Amino acid sequence: MTTCPKLEKRAHIKGLIIQGTVSALLESGLSAVTMKKIAAKAGVNTATLHYYFADKNALLTAAVQLIVSQISRELSANLGQQPDIRKCIEMVICNSWQVMARTRDIQLLQYELLLYTLRNVETQSIAKFQYDGYRKLYEDLFRHALADISPPGAIDLADLARFVVAGMDGLILQYLVDPDAEKSLRSHRQLICAAQALLDVPASQLC
C-alpha cells in the first residue's frame, strides 16, 4: 500500500510547524511568542502557518500534544517488569524524576501552557488532556511493571497514579523555584515512601 506524496509532504510540514511552535515557546515564553517567531522556527512563512493552523490556540493545542507524547515516551523508556509493587513504585518515580530534572525548560513551559489553557474556556479541554494523559501513563507504567499481577493492599492503581502525579507536580514546581539537587532528591525519596505507605492503608480509610 503506497502513501500519497502530497499527504506525506503535508504531514512533514505540519510536524515542522508543531516542533517550531515548541522551540519558539521554549525560547521566548508563552507571553512573548508570536506567529512570526513560530514561522521562523518552523522554516515556513506565516501564510503557510495559517494554512495549517487556524489560530494560535490551535498551535498551542498541537504543541501540548507533542510535549505530552515526547515526555510520555521518555517516562516509559528503560522500565522493565518488577512484580514487587513497592519496588515498582520506586522504579517508576525514580525514572520520572530523572526525566523531569533533565527537561526543566519543558516542565516550565508545560505549566505556562496549563495556566493559559485553564483561563480560556475554549482551551480548557487541553489542560484536562494533559493531566489525564499523565495520570493514565503512570497507571499504565504501574500495570506494565507489575506484569498484570494484582497489587497488594486496598489502593487502586488509578488512584495510586493520581497520587503520584500530584506529588510529582509539587516536586517539579519546587525544583523550578529552587533547583537544589540535594533537596529534590530527598523530597522525591519521601514521595516514594508516601506512595508505598498507601499500600498499608485499610480500604475504609481510602474512601
Query: What are 141-161's pLDDT values in tens digits?
Result: 888 777 655 555 557 888 899
State the Cα–Cα distance between residues 169 and 166, nearest whole angstrom.
5
pTM, two decimals, is: 0.82
Report pLDDT digits (tens) over 104-135.
999 999 999 998 888 888 888 888 888 898 89
In one letter, which amino acid is 7?
Answer: L
Query: In this predicted structure, what is the pLDDT of residue 151?
Result: 57
State the Cα–Cα distance between residues 14 and 8, nearest whole angstrom.
10
Asked if 140 contacts 134 with a C-beta cutoff of 8 angstroms, the reply is no
Is 1.10.10.60 the CATH classification of the domain at 7-53?
yes
Q: State mean pLDDT over 60-77.
A: 88
State the Cα–Cα distance between residues 20 and 204, nearest whole angstrom.
50
Res 203 pLDDT > 70: no
Asked if 188 contacts 94 with a C-beta cutoff of 8 angstroms, the reply is yes
Domain boundaries, the chain: 7-53, 56-202
Closest of 141, 133, 116 to residue 195, by C-alpha: 141
148 burial level (CB within 10 Å; 0-12, 13-18, 19+): exposed
Q: State mean pLDDT over 48-59.
A: 89
Report pLDDT digits (tens) over 184-201.
999 999 999 999 998 887
- Sequence-separated (6 or more) residues with CB below 8 Å from residue 169: none
CATH class of 56-202: mainly alpha
